[in-house]
Structure 1
Amino acid sequence: MDKLDLRPFYLFVRVAEAGSFSKAAAMLSVGQPELSRTIKDLEKRYDVQLLHRNGRGVSLTEAGEQLMGHAQGLLRNLMQVDHELSAVRGAPSGNVTIGVPPLFGHVLNFDLIRRMHSEYPKVSLVFMEGFTTDFLEWLAKGSLDLAVMYNPPSISTLLAEHLRDDRLCLVGVPGSLEFQPGSEIAFKTLTALPLVMPPKPHRLRAAVDSAAKEANVVLRIDVEATGTATILDLVRGRIGYTILPQSLVEEDAGNERLHAWPLADPKITPRLFLVTSMQRPMTVAAKCAIDHVRKIFAVRPW
C-alpha cells in the first residue's frame, strides 16, 4: 500500500463513524468488498485488529481508537490546508460548526448568519444545539469548531474566552406580580409559582436547583422545555413563569411584552464564554466566525 495514499484512512474513519460496513458503503457509494479489503489491508499493515466485527456492525478496538484519533487529525489538517490555501487565493471558505445552547440560539444565530453571509459568502455555518456536556465531548472529538456556553469547566485542552456576565431573572407577563419590573426579588418569592424550565442536565437548571437548595425553596416545575422561543411562548400564554438570563429577555422586557425581575438571596450571575479546542488547528473560516461572535457581544446592549 502506498505510504502516501490517504484514502484507506478516510474509508476507515467513515466505517468507524457509521458503525457498519453496509451503512458506510451506502453513504460513500463504495462497495462493501472494497471497504472490507481496505480495513484488512490496514490491519495487515500495522499487524493489529482495528475493528470488532459482529452481527450488529463494527466497533473500534483499542488499537482502532488510537488510529481513529490520528486519522481524524490528519484529515482535519488536510482540510485546514485546503481552506487556508483557498483563503490565499480569495475569500475564506468551508464549514464552521458552532455549538449554541438551546436557550441562546435566537439571540446569536440570526445576527451571526447575517454578518457572515454578508462578509464571507463562501463560508457555511452549521449550528448544533446541545448542553455543556455535549459541547465538551464534541470539541474533544473535533466535531465543533467553537461553542458558546455558560460557566464551562476548566480543562487544559480548552481555551475559554469570557464574553459577558449575565443575571438570572424571574420572567412573567405584565401585571402577574405586584413587584415593579426590573426590581430585585428574593429567591423565596418563587415558592409555589408555576415554572416553565429547561430539563436536567441543562446548566441553567442546575444553577437554579442549586440556588433553590441554598434558599431552602421547593420549586414547582409544571412544564419542561429546551428552546427559548417555546419557553417564552408558554410564559406569554400564562402557563407559568420562567427563570432565564437577563440577556435573553431584554428585548421582550423593553417592549413591555414581558416583565423581568432579577433574583437575589441568592443572586445568580452565570458567565458566558466562547470555547475552542487547543488540540485542533483553527481554520481561517472559523477564525472569521469567532471574530464576529466577539463583535456581536461587544455591540449588543446587554
Structure 2
Amino acid sequence: MALPFDLRALRVFVTIADHGGFSAAARELHVAQSAVSQTIASLEERLDVQLLHRHERRISLTPEGDILCQHARELLAHAEAAHLAMRELHGLVKGEVRIGIPSMLGSYYFPPLLMGFKAQHPGIRLTVIEAGTRRLQQMIHDGELDLGVVMDDADSQSLERRHFLREEMVVCVPHDHEFAQRNAVTADAFFREPLVLFQDGYFHREFVDTLARDTQYQPDIAFQSNLIPLTKAIVRQGFGITTFLRRVIDDPGLAAVSFDPPAWLDLCLAWSARAGLSRAERAFVDFVVDHQQALTDHHDQEPE
C-alpha cells in the first residue's frame, strides 16, 4: 500500500511551518513558490485533510497539520540519520555532529574538548548550539540536535545518556562579602541574599529551584540573566550573589564558597534512543568520556 506522502513533500511542509509562509519556504528551499503551493495542495488532497490555515499575511497549522508536523520532523530526522550512516559506510563523508551545550559548559569546559576532537577527526563537521538543558532535550526529541548536555536526573525515557562530568556547584560572592571568609554557606544563609539567576530551563536555575524546594525557601531574585559576564559583573558590584560550577569563578574580584553540605552536579551527554548514534556521533561521545579528566581540575575535591 503506497503512502500518501513522500519525504520531499514532508520537508516542504515542515519548512512552511518553520518559516510561516509559502514565500519564505520557497526561498529556503530554492524552489518556485508555485511548486511549494502545488506540493501542499497535493499533500492535502492525498491525505484528505486541511493542513494549513491560509490567513492574509501568515500561515498557521491546523490541528491535523500540527500532528503531521510532529511526525514529519521525526521521519525526516530518521531519514537524515540513515542517509548519513550509508554515506559513512561508503566513505563519502566523515560525518557531522550537532551538539547542544549550556552556556556555562560551552564557555568554560567544552572548548578544549571541541578543539581536541576536531584535531583528531578533522573531517567531522561540528555544529554547536547554546541553550538550556530542557530546551536541548526538546531539540533532540525533534531531531534538531544529535547530542545535548542534560542533567543526570533528566526524566525523559526517550533519551540514551552517558555521564561525563561531576562538578561542584558553589556560592559566588564578591571578594569583600562576608561569605567569602567562610568555609561553607548554608541554604538558609544563601536564600537570605538577593540572587542573580539564569532563566528557567537552564541547569543553573534548576539547581537553585530544587534547592529552594527541598529546603522550603523562597528565592529573592534580583536579576535574571543567561549572560555569564553580566552575571559576574552584577555580583562583583554587590547587587546580588549567585551559584556557578566552581571552575567558572575565575575572576579575582569574586570568591567561590562551598554549600553546607557540599552540592555536586552530574551532567550527561544525551541522544535520542530511537535515532541512536552515527559513527561520527559515537566517536564524539567516546572522545568526551575518554577525556573527561580535562573537564574538571577539581576532581580531588569530590566526596569519598
TM-score range relative to shorter protein: 0.7 to 0.9
Q: Deviations over 1:163-182 (max 9, x none)?
A: 2333321123445436557x
Correspondence 1:17 to 2:18: yes
Output the CA distance in 2 between the equivalents of 1:101 and 1:92.
28
Answer whether contact 1:103 1:227 (CA < 8 A) is retained. Answer: no
Question: Within 2, Cα distance between the matches of 1:4 and 1:194?
Answer: 56
Q: Counterpart of 1:289 in structure 2: which amino acid?
A: F
- Mapped partners of 1:268, 1:148: distance in 2: 19
Task: Determine the C-alpha separation between the residues in 2 that align with 1:272 and 1:44.
Answer: 47
Q: Deviations over 1:197-247 (max 9, x none)?
A: 223453423432443465565655433321333323444455543211224
Given residue 123 of structure 1, which amino acid in structure 2 is its aligned partner? I
User: For structure 1, which segment, 33-42 or 84-93, has the greater mean C-alpha deviation from structure 2 after superposition?
Assistant: 84-93
Distance 1:108 1:292 in 2: 14
| Cα distance change on mapping 1:12 and 1:158 into 2, 3 Å | same
1:289 aligns with 2:284: yes
What is the aligned partner in structure 1 of residue 244 from structure 2?
A: 244
- Helix, strand or coil for the counterpart of 1:269? strand
Partner residue in 2 for 1:171: 172
Measure the CA separation in 1 of the matches of 2:144 and 2:180. Answer: 46
Question: Which stretch of the first structure deviates more once superposed, 273-282 or 57-66?
Answer: 57-66
- 1:99, distance to aligned residue in structure 2 (A): 1.7
- Farther off after superposition, 31-40 or 155-164: 155-164
Q: After TM superposition, list the pairs within 5 Å mapping 1:179-218 onto structure 2.
A: 180=181, 183-190=183-190, 193-212=193-212, 215=215
Aligned equivalents of 1:66, 1:188: Cα separation in 2: 47
What secondary structure does 1:280 align onto?
Answer: coil
| 3-state SS of paired residue (1:270) | strand
**Which whole-Å CA distance do the structure 2 matches of 1:194 and 1:293 have between them?**
36
Q: Which residue of 1 aligns with 2:302?
A: none
Deviates more, 1:6-15 or 1:27-36: 6-15
Q: In structure 2, what residue type is equivalent to 1:28?
A: L
Q: Pairwise CA RMSD of aligned residues?
A: 3.2
- 1:18-167 matched pairs, under 5 angstroms: 18-90=19-91, 93-167=94-168
The Cα shift of 1:89 comes to 4.2
Mapping 1:257-272, distance limit 5 Å? 258-264=254-260, 267-272=262-267
Residue type of the alignment partner of 2:17: A
Question: For 1:152 and 1:88, how far apart are their aligned partners in 2?
Answer: 35
Q: Deviations over 1:36-58 (max 9, x none)?
A: 11111122223333323222433
- Three-state SS of the structure 1 residue aligned to 2:73 is helix
- Which amino acid letter does the alignment assign opposite residue 275 of structure 1? A
One-letter amino acid of the structure 2 residue matched with residue 230 of structure 1: L
Q: Which amino acid aligns with 2:124?
A: V
1:145 Cα deviation from its structure 2 partner: 0.9
- Distance of aligned partners of 1:15 and 1:281 in 2 relative to their CA distance in 1, 3 Å threshold: farther
Counterpart Cα distance in 1 of 2:159 and 2:268: 11
Structure 1 residues 100, 108: closer, same or farther in 2, change over 3 A? Answer: same
Uncovered stretches (5+) of structure 1, i.e. residues with no partner: none
In the other structure, the counterpart of 1:223 is 223
Aligned CA distance change for structure 1 residues 120 and 214 (closer, same or farther; 3 Å)? closer
Please report the TM-score for the alignment, with normalisation by the length of structure 1.
Answer: 0.81
Question: Does the 8 Å contact 1:101/1:131 carry over to 2?
Answer: yes
Identity of aligned residues (%): 26
For 2:90 and 2:127, the matched residues in 1 are separated by: 24
CA distance in 1 between partners of 2:285 and 2:186 (Å): 37
TM-score normalised to the size of structure 2? 0.81
CA distance in 2, matches of 1:272, 1:217: 25
The CA distance in 2 between the partners of 1:202 and 1:24, in whole Å, is 32
Work out the CA distance in 2 between the residues paired with 1:53 and 1:180.
64
Native 8 Å contact 1:52 1:60 kept in 2: yes
Q: What SS is found at the alignment partner of 2:81? A: helix
Structure 2: runs of 5 or more not aligned: 299-304
Distance 1:50 1:57 in 2: 14
